[in-house]
Chain A
Amino acid sequence: MITQDIRPILSALLRNRTGAVLVALQVAIALAVLVNAVYIVKQRVDKIGRPTGVDIGNIIVIDTIGFGAGYDHMATVRDDLGWLRSQPGVRAATVVSQIPLSGSGSSNRLFKTPEAKGEGVPMNYFLLDDSGVDALGVKLAAGRKFRQEEILPEDPTFNQPVPSMIVTRALAKSLFGTDNAIGKVAYDALGRPVTVTGVIEHMQGSWVDWDKLDHVGLLPRQPSGPNATYLVRTEAGRRNAISKLAEEHLSASNARRVVQHVRPLDYYRNRSYQSDRNIAIFLVAVTALLACVTALGIFALATFNVNVRTRQIGTRRAVGARKVDVVRYFMVENWLITTGGVLLGAALALGVGYSLSRAYELPRLDLYYLVGGVVALWALGQAAAWQPARRAARIAPSVATRTV
C-alpha cells in the first residue's frame, strides 16, 4: 500500500526538489559525522573503561617530601606505614616509587639471555614493599607475594641487582612466551638475572597511551628519599574518611616532612584520560548539535511544504483523503528525502572513515555503526516531520473552496 503511494510522491518531489536536495545533503553530512563521531567516542570510552587490575576505587595516594639535615627517611617511612596500617578500615599500605596510571613512571628492558641481545622486552616497573600486592589490590595468579626480608632500600647507583620480581601475565607472555613463569629467569641489560616469584593477573602501569600499558613488573625495593609516596587501600566506602584522617595525622606527626597531596588514585587516572574525555565530550556535543540542526532543517522544510500546499491538502481532503492519508503523505515524502540523504551520507561516511583510518591509523569503520546511523537518521527525520504532518492533517477540506 505504501509502495503504491511512493511513485506520485516521488515525482512531485523531483519536480520541486531544491529544498529537498539541500535537506538531503544536510542529512548526508549528519550521517557521515554522526557515524564517525560515535565510532571514535566509542573507542575513547572503551579505552577509558579498560580494567585497571588494581582496586581503583579504594586506593589513596599520599605524596610526601622530607627536608633538612635532620630528616630520617627510613624512620619516617617506617613510622608512617606503621600508623597507616594500624588505622581501622585500612586493608594495606605500601610505599611506592611511582603512582600507577599517573602518566609518570619508570621502565627498563629485560632480556631472555645474559648476552642481552636484541630489543628486549620493555617493563614498566614499580618499587614497593611486601604489602605492595595487597595495597594495589592486584590479583595474584601464581607464585607468592614479596617477603619482608626481600625488601631492601633502593640503590640509586643501580649497582646492586634485584633478584626477584612479580610480573603481569602480559609481561610474562612477552618475556617467556607463556604466563606460566614462576621460577623463570630474565636478565637486565647488564646480564644480571632476576627470577619471577609471582605472576599477577593484570595491572595497568603508568602511561595510558602506551600500547604495553600492561607490561608491569613489581620489584621488592623501598624507594629512596626524600620523597615518599604511599598507596593506602581501604575498605569500601572508607576512602574519603581515611584520607582526611591521614592528611591530618601525617601533617602533624613529623616536623621535617610535608604532605604534598592526599588524593584518590582515581584522580590520577582521570587526569591521564583528560584529553580522551574531552575529545569524546566535544564529539558528542558536535554530533548532538548537528542532529538538532538537521532535525530543524527537516522540520523547516516540512513546515514550508505544508504551508505552500495548504490548498492542495484541502483539495486532497475534498476528493477523499483521510487525515491519516495526509499524515502519511508527508511522512513518506520526508522518508524519501532522508533516504536520499542517508544513501549519499553512507558513501560519504565510508569515504571519511577510510581516510580517517589511514591518516590516524584508526581501525576501519564498523558497518554496524553505519546501519545504526541510517536508522537513527530515519527516526530523526520522521520525528522532525511528525508535527508538520499532523498540522497538515488538520487543514480543513473546505480550504479547497474557500481559498482563491
Chain B
Amino acid sequence: MLAMRHISKVFRTDLIETHALRDFSLEVAEGEFVAVTGPSGSGKTTFLNVAGLLEGFDTGTYHLDGVDTNGLSDDARSRLRNEKIGFIFQSFNLIPDLDIFDNVDVPLRYRRMKAAERRERITSALDLVGLASRAHHLPSQLSGGQQQRVAIARAIAGDPKFLLADEPTGNLDSLMARQVMDLLEQINEMGTTIVLVTHDPELARRAQRNVQVIDGQVSDFRPYEPHAQPATFAAAAAG
C-alpha cells in the first residue's frame, strides 16, 4: 500500500547538511491507522512530505499504492496527490477568501469533476464532519476545531486511499482534539488508511500501530515517552 525502503533525504544549506531521513523503511498496509511520534526535528514531517509526494528523496524506493514514485513528473505527482492522498495540516490551511463549500471544492476542481458530482461530494463530506449548515461561512467565522473539520472534509471529499495528517490537533484544545480524533477513527473505519503524526501520546495510543521516528529513522524499540531521558534515546538510537 505504502512502502518505503531505505529512504534517505538530506537537506543541504550553505553551512550544514541535515540528514532528515536515513535508511528509513516503513510499510503501511491498506486500512491501517498508524500514529507516528518522535522528538522534534526527528524527521516526522519530512517523512510525511515524502509519503505525500510533497517532497522528493535522495536514495531508496517508495511505492505508493503499487506505483513506483521514482522519476514521476511533477504533473504526475500532482495527480497522484490529488487522487490518492488527503492532507490534513496542523494549521488547517483553509483558503481564507473562499467559503467552506468552495474550500472543500478545491481538490475536486483540480480533478476536473462535473459540477453535480462535486456538489454531491462536498455536501456529503460536510455532512460527515457535521458542518453542512456552515457551507457558506468563511473560515474566519469558524472555531479552530470547526476549521480543522472543514480541512478533513476537504481531504476526504475526493475519496482518497490515504489520509496524511501532520499534528492535526496541535493547534486545538483537548476537547476539540478528541473530536477530530473521533472523526479520523470514523473515517478509518470506512476504509481509509491513515498516517497521523502527533506529539500527543494519548492520541497516539488510539491508533492501531505506533511508529517512532528518532533521528530520521524508524525505531520500533519502544514507544515514545515525552519524559524519557535523553541518554535512553542515545542508547536507543545506537542500538
A interface residues with partner B (beta carbon < 8 Å): 1, 4-5, 8, 11-13, 15-16, 311-312, 314-325, 396-398, 400-402, 404
Do most interface residues of chain A lie in helix, strand or loop, or is the interface mixed?
helix
Question: Is B102 part of the contact surface with A, judged by Cβ < 8 Å?
Answer: yes
- Using known A-B contacts A320-B111, A398-B54, A401-B48, determine if residue A315 contacts B89 with beta carbons closer than 8 Å: yes
- Using known A-B contacts A315-B93, A319-B82, A320-B83, determine if residue A11 contacts B74 with beta carbons closer than 8 Å: no
C-alpha gap A240/B238 in the complex (Å): 95
C-alpha gap A359/B54 in the complex (Å): 63
- B79 close to A401 (CB less than 8 A): no
Most chain A beta carbons < 10 A, residue from B90, B97, B102, B166: B97
- A316 close to B97 (CB less than 8 A): no
What is the minimal beta-carbon distance from A315 to any residue of chain B, in angstroms? 4
Question: Is B149 part of the contact surface with A, judged by Cβ < 8 Å?
Answer: no
Q: Which residues of A lie under 8 Å from residue B74 when comparing CB positions?
A: 322-323
Please give me the residue from chain A that is nearest to B167 by CB atom.
A401
- B89 close to A12 (CB less than 8 A): no
Q: What 20 additional pairs, Cβ within 8 angstroms, besides A12-B97, A320-B81?
A: A5-B109, A8-B98, A8-B102, A8-B106, A12-B95, A12-B98, A13-B97, A312-B93, A315-B89, A315-B95, A316-B106, A317-B54, A319-B81, A319-B82, A320-B111, A323-B75, A325-B78, A398-B54, A400-B93, A401-B45
Q: Which residues of A lie under 8 Å from residue B91 when comparing CB positions?
A: 404
- Using known A-B contacts A8-B98, A397-B54, A401-B89, determine if residue A319 contacts B45 with beta carbons closer than 8 Å: no
Q: Which residues of A lie under 8 Å from residue B86 when comparing CB positions?
A: 319
- A318 close to B54 (CB less than 8 A): yes
- B49 close to A401 (CB less than 8 A): yes
Q: Which residues of B lie under 8 Å from residue A1 when comparing CB positions?
A: 112
In chain B, positions 95-127 with a C-beta closer than 8 Å to chain A are 95-99, 102, 105-107, 109-112, 115
In chain B, positions 48-63 with a C-beta closer than 8 Å to chain A are 48-49, 52-55
Please give me the residue from chain A that is nearest to B75 by CB atom.
A322
Please give me the residue from chain B that is nearest to A12 by CB atom.
B97
Question: Is B87 part of the contact surface with A, judged by Cβ < 8 Å?
Answer: yes
